[in-house]
Structure 1
Amino acid sequence: MSETRRLQIRAVAQDDPLAAPLLEELAVEYSTRYERPLEEQVESLTTYPAEEFAPPDGALLVVIEDGEPVAGGAFRRYDQTTAELKRIWTSRGHRRRGLGRIVLAELEAEAVVRGYSRIYLTTGWRQPEAVGLYLSTGYTALFDPSRPAEEIGPHPFEKHLTRKVESA
Structure 2
Amino acid sequence: MKDKIKSIKTTSENSDFITLIAALDKSLWERYPELKTNYWGNNILALNPNVVLIYFENKPVACGCFKKYDKNTIELKRMFVSPEARGMGFAQKIVNELELWAHELGFSFSVLETLNKQNEAVGLYQKVGYTIIENYPPYVGLENSICMKKQI
Shorter-normalised TM range: 0.7 to 0.9
- Compute the TM-score of the two structures, normalised by the length of structure 2: 0.84
Aligned amino acid, residue 90 of structure 1: V
Report the 3-state secondary structure (helix = DSSP H, G, I; strand = E; otherwise coil) of the residue aligned with 1:138: coil
Distance in 2 (CA, whole Å) between partners of 1:23 and 1:159 is: 24
Report the 3-state secondary structure (helix = DSSP H, G, I; strand = E; otherwise coil) of the residue aligned with 1:116: coil
Aligned amino acid, residue 19 of structure 1: F
Q: In structure 2, do the counterparts of structure 1 residues 85 and 4 end up closer, same or farther at CA, with 3 Å as the change threshold? A: closer
Q: How many residues align?
A: 144
Q: 5+ unaligned residues in a row in structure 2: which ranges?
A: 135-141
Q: Which has the higher strand share?
A: 2
User: Which of the residues 42, 45, 48 maps onto 2:45?
Assistant: 48
- Compute the TM-score of the two structures, normalised by the length of structure 1: 0.77
Q: In structure 2, do the counterparts of structure 1 residues 70 and 113 end up closer, same or farther at CA, with 3 Å as the change threshold? A: same
Report the 3-state secondary structure (helix = DSSP H, G, I; strand = E; otherwise coil) of the residue aligned with 1:8: strand
Stretches of 4+ aligned residues off by more than 3 angstroms:
41-45
Aligned amino acid, residue 67 of structure 1: N
User: Which of the residues 25, 28, 33 maps onto 2:26?
Assistant: 28
Match of 1:166 in 2: none
Name the % identity: 27
Distance in 2 (CA, whole Å) between partners of 1:129 and 1:103 is: 15
Q: 5+ unaligned residues in a row in structure 1: which ranges?
A: 144-150, 162-168
Q: Verify the 8 A CA contact 1:120 1:157 in the aligned structure 2.
A: yes
CA RMSD, 1 decimal: 2.4
